[in-house]
């Protein structure tokens, strides 16, 4: 997979390495901006509130 990507990148080795680095940074940026906050919303690891079971919820 990564070998194929490497072969398809243009230019000499240092240009390819630079492009790879840019791609990695891009992927991480997308993760931090959108993916990670979404995951943090969905996983039940970080709850701070007390809540009623939804059937008897009064406040919350």
Partner 1 sequence: MTPLSRLVGVFGELLLTLGALVLAFVAWQLWWTDVAANASQREAVTGLERTFADQPADQPLARIPTPKPGEAFAVLRLPRLGTGYATPVYEGTDKRTLTQGVGHYRGTALPGEIGNFAVAGHRMTYGGPFRMMEELRAGDLAVVETVAGYAVYRLGPSYITSPDHFVALEPTPEQPGVAPTKASITLTACHPKYASTYRMIVHGTLAHTYPRSQGLPADLARQLGLPAGPTASGKATTAPTTTPTTKAGR
Q: Which residues bind partner 1 (CB under 8 A)?
A: 1-2, 28, 31-32, 36-37, 39-41, 44-53, 57-60
Counting Cβ atoms within 10 Å, is residue 9 exposed (0-12), middle (13-18) or buried (19+)?
A: middle
Quote the least distance from Cβ 54 to partner 1, whole Å.
11
Quote the least distance from Cβ 59 to partner 1, whole Å.
5
What letter would DSSP give residue 54?
Answer: G
Quote the least distance from Cβ 57 to partner 1, whole Å.
8
Residue 60 CA to residue 43 CA, distance in Å, equals 19
């Amino acid at each position: 997979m990564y070998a194929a990507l490497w072969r398809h990148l243009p230019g000499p080795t240092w240009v390819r390495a630079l492009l790879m680095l840019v791609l990695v940074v891009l992927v991480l940026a997308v993760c931090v901006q959108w993916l990670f906050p979404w995951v943090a919303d969905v996983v039940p690891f970080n709850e701070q509130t007390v809540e009623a079971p939804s059937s008897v919820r009064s406040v919350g």
